[in-house]
Amino acid sequence: MAVKAKIGVCVMALLEDDYNKTGHMREAATAAAREIADTFAQWGEVVHAGLVEEEWQAAAAARAFNAADVDLIVMMELAYTKGLVPARLIIDTTAPVLVWNAQKIRRLGEQDGFDVVMLNSGMAGMPELTAVLLRTGRDYALVTSLFDDPDGRRRVQEVVQAAAVRRKLRETRVALVGHNFEGMTDLMFDGLSMRETLGPVYWPLEPEKVAVRAGELSQDLVDRVMAEERAKYTVDMDPAVFERSVRLAVALEQLVRENKFDAFCAFDQVWLSDPRVGVIPSYGTGRLCEIGIPAAPEGDVNTAVAQVILQELAGTATTLENYVIDYDQDAVMFSHDGHGNPAMGTPGEVKVKHSIYYHGVHGFGAGFEFAYKPGHITNLALVTTGLNQWRFVISEGELLPFPPREISAPQTLFRHDTLSIADWCDGWLRAGATHHQGAAYGSWTPQLMHLADMLGIEAVVV
């Protein structure tokens, strides 16, 4: 289940000071502030600061937001507010900020008086608020809309979703068995830099633990899982090798859950020469994706994290790899040997077959072969660009109908929304994208752009 954001809501208005005398509006303004805060309850856990009129109230709001460890601070003005009030909140906090420049009325009617103005003139104070954010070096998201406009609320929700993903990343633990595939430069990264900038931490899971656990599993459990998988998929391989692959898959699931890992990756060849295992884990890593534990092949921690991000947004995600350009259909084939998320395949058409790539001491282990369902998709590559600088590379397009080739691999055909495939390839390569990428159905570019801003990293949309 996706993590819910904690949202601090600060609604401001200047009602009463030595010169302004609109204190009679306090009850109506307080009710309006509560209505605004309640709006955010559909998207997360709300910490409501009440109506903030003075600097001491902004300071109290900052303490409450910090104590709750909010993921997003929403700042909104019903009417003009002196800039030092939001400045106090901004200076005393570090969470990402959303400025919602919203009002309830479409226009001021001919018969409307100043009381209506006092609840619908936040634009008067917006320049001061955003200038404080600029002058203090604080990044922020900005949405201007009517309060009840569906498109405005969609844009607000996108920011909240990004903040929720940021929280998930701060809590994410990635298991790494062995090491990343030797020589693959785009899999090389600084783990401390990832922890500091993005949030996730990766921990070693010893291959020995996996091999031992696979041997300890009861035959009844293995038989039950084999029967369940045969009921879901077409299993076309040697029964004894399939059983060995299932043992490895269940061992992986158990150890990932026991150690509270949120994602998994492994040097897939690590068990090929171990007689206790002796097969490739592609079936097991694909099964992890299916049951909601993002997994990437070849020790690719970066792509495992990209999948975590997309799964939080879309509910399920997978790894894809660039394969063959199809100039006739203006598209490119995506695949990966044996590994992929069968939950994204066409029901009834997913096959479990032996690998044709990696031979262990017990033969070619199980992997998946299927075509991904057609539909709109978002691709995300998480890359480093030197000196531990991070970047999202994002694109969107369609997965086309694609009869699967007999290559023991999940596969699909991707066509970009607007670019020719040659232009897409040029853009994807110039952006520094990795040879693996996370992918999920849906359109998620706005959320990913907001998330990149919150993390303080670059984002390139191809």
Give the mean model confidence (pLDDT) for residues 431-439. 95
Residue 51 belongs to some domain of the structure: yes
Residues 374 and 245 both lie in one domain: yes
Do 129 and 233 have their domain in common? Answer: no
Q: What is the mean pLDDT of residues 108-123?
A: 87
Residues in the chain: 462
Same domain? 77 vs 203: no
Q: Which domain holds residue 44?
A: 5-160
| Domain identity same for 314 and 347 | yes
**CA-based nearest residue to 81, from 144, 27, 129, 25:** 129
The pTM assigned to this predicted structure is 0.94
Average pLDDT over residues 288-312: 97
Average pLDDT of the segment spanning 175-188: 86
Average pLDDT, the chain: 95
Q: Does residue 237 share a domain with residue 145?
A: no
Query: Where residue 185 falls among pLDDT bands split at 50, 70, 90?
Result: confident
**Percent of the chain clearing pLDDT 70 (strictly above):** 100
Listed range (22-26, 31-35, 401-405, 413-417) with the worst mean pLDDT: 22-26
Residues 356 and 244 in one domain: yes
The predicted-structure confidence for 48-84, as pLDDT tens digits, reads as follows 999 999 999 999 999 999 999 999 999 999 999 999 9
User: Residue 187: pLDDT above 90?
Assistant: no
Task: Note whether residue 270 is domain-resident.
Answer: yes
How many domains, in total, are found in the chain? 2
Residue 113's pLDDT band (cuts 50, 70, 90): confident
Which tens digits make up the pLDDT trace of 8-24?
999 999 988 777 778 88
Query: Does residue 128 sit in the same domain as residue 210?
Result: no
The pLDDT, as a whole number, for residue 150 is 97
146 lies in the same domain as 190 = no
Final residue before a domain boundary, out of 140, 160, 180: 160
Identify the pLDDT of residue 388.
81
Give the CATH number of the domain where residue 85 resides.
3.40.50.10940
Is the same domain home to 143 and 181?
A: no
Residue 1 predicted with pLDDT over 70:
no
Q: Is residue 138 predicted with pLDDT exceeding 90?
A: yes
Residue 166 lies in a domain: no
* Residue 75 and residue 132 in contact, taking contact as beta carbons nearer than 8 Å: no
Whether 235 is in a domain gets the answer yes
Claim to verify: residue 126 and residue 178 sit in the same structural domain: no
pLDDT at position 162 is 98
Question: Which CATH number is 343's domain given?
Answer: 3.20.14
Same domain, 145 and 268: no
288 found inside a domain: yes
Over range 363-372, report the average pLDDT.
95
* Position 167 in a domain: no
Contacts of 113 (CB under 8 A, 6+ apart): none
Same domain, 301 and 438: yes
**Over the stretch 217-261, which tens digit does the pLDDT of each residue have?**
999 999 999 999 999 999 999 999 999 999 999 999 999 999 999
End-of-domain residue from the set 135, 160, 185: 160
Would you state the pLDDT for residue 12? 97
Sheet hosting strand 201-204, strand order edge to edge: 201-204, 173-177, 263-266, 295-296
CA dihedral 274, 245, 248, 224 (to 10 degrees): -140
Last residue of a domain, one of 122, 139, 160: 160
